[in-house]
Structure 1
Amino acid sequence: MAYRIEAFDPGLHDTKDFRCGSDSQDNFLRRTAKRQQRDGYTRLYVATDTAQAGEPRACLGFYAINAHAIGVADVPADAVPRAPRSNLIPGVFLSHLAVDRRHQGKGLGRILLVDAMQQCQRAGQILGVRLMLLDVAGAARDAERARLHSFYASMGFRPLPGRPERLFITLSALPPPQSGGSSIRGADAAGSSR
């Protein structure tokens, strides 16, 4: 299956049947995302099946990103050489990433994460951004948290000192961005079911 990843449009993307196994992720997509995007607090991107040409298109997975800043003292020194006087490091926060249960285990989680990383690279070409950050779900069971840590570590993320649930990667370690607004990717990459 090939996926199309595009900016969320509530008039185009159908979220009512989305179920990823996490009530908080499902509720965010169905109840909160539209308002947060409209109010300028987050940007949401959804994956749909490229074969589905009609409207509305079913949401198979999604991620949300927003601007963030973190204190210099919270980040390892090697990640912030010559820190600014403000003592704040600008970043992009991956606040949500989820895949519908029917599409888990097919590499879509990895495809969404790579797309989010490329969005961060594009943001870094426009404004000052040093890091990409995310939190491993606090409500997840130990085995799930360990799986998520392993998945994100395989993509280059590492924990902040003293905060194992908060992971980061520097923009310089991210893959180069692709041009264009939406991307189409196959599901042949090994990946996360998240």
Structure 2
Amino acid sequence: MIRLEPLTGRHDRSGFECGVAPLDLWLRQTALQHQAKGVSRTFVAVPAGQAAVDHFAAAGHPELGPTSILGFYALAAAVAPLTDLPPIAAKRYPRQVPVTRLRRLAIRHDLQGQGLGRLLLADALNRARDAAPSVGSAGVFVDAKDDTASRFYQGFGFQPCADEPLKLYLPIW
């Protein structure tokens, strides 16, 4: 019912609202620019065809169309200082560690709590893991916006970093 694909100009960015204004604004104004400049890559969840659009309409979402964004995430390559890693992971690496950064992850406010966040996170982690042998990445960093988000990521094995409990790390290897 849902398809994950790279963000393009045909996606309806203006209709997306997750309840966190900076995330909505970033998707509308910055995501495509960053993609064009190679700064990050954004992937979106959209209805997977007309049957999915019809299903969403029957479930009370008649405003959703084939280009409606249900959720998104962005990935970027990064370098993290060794001091940012959790102590147990830090002893394995040099002073600077190549990582993948999960820059943003958001779900439409009216679709939250239905498992779409787990699906997007799994896809992001699979993409990071698949790219790691080719580009070098020891793990994935994410900056949780609050304690609830931190608990969400920790449920998937992310570990809080030494001095910043909302910065979390998941080793790939």
Normalised by the size of structure 2, how large is the TM-score?
A: 0.87
Number of equivalent positions: 161
Match 1:100 to one of 68, 93, 108: 108
1:16 match: 14
1:187 match: none
1:154 aligns with 2:155: yes
Runs of at least 5 residues in structure 2 that lack an aligned partner in the other structure: 54-64
2:93 match: 83
Q: Show CA shifts across 1:11-60 (max 9, x none).
A: 3x111110000000000000111111101101000001113489861111
Q: Show CA shifts across 1:79-116 (max 9, x none).
A: 145423xx210000011000011211110011000000
2:5 match: 6
Deviation at 1:133, TM superposition (A): 0.3
1:109 match: 117
SS of the equivalent of 2:110 reads: helix
C-alpha contact 2:80 2:99 (8 A) present in aligned 1 = yes
Deviation at 1:153, TM superposition (A): 0.7
1:189 match: none
- 1:23-172 aligned within 5 A: 23-52=21-50, 57-84=67-94, 87-137=95-145, 145-172=146-173
SS of the equivalent of 1:164 reads: coil
Give, in whole Å, the separation in 1 of the partners of 2:24 and 2:92: 40
C-alpha contact 2:87 2:162 (8 A) present in aligned 1 = no
**Structure with the higher helix share, 1 or 2:** 2
- RMSD value, Cα: 1.7
Q: Which runs of 4+ in 1 moved over 4 A?
A: 53-56
> CA 1:162 to 1:3, structure 2 compared with 1: closer, same or farther past 3 Å?
same
SS of the equivalent of 1:110 reads: helix
Identity of aligned residues (%): 34
Normalised by the size of structure 1, how large is the TM-score?
A: 0.78
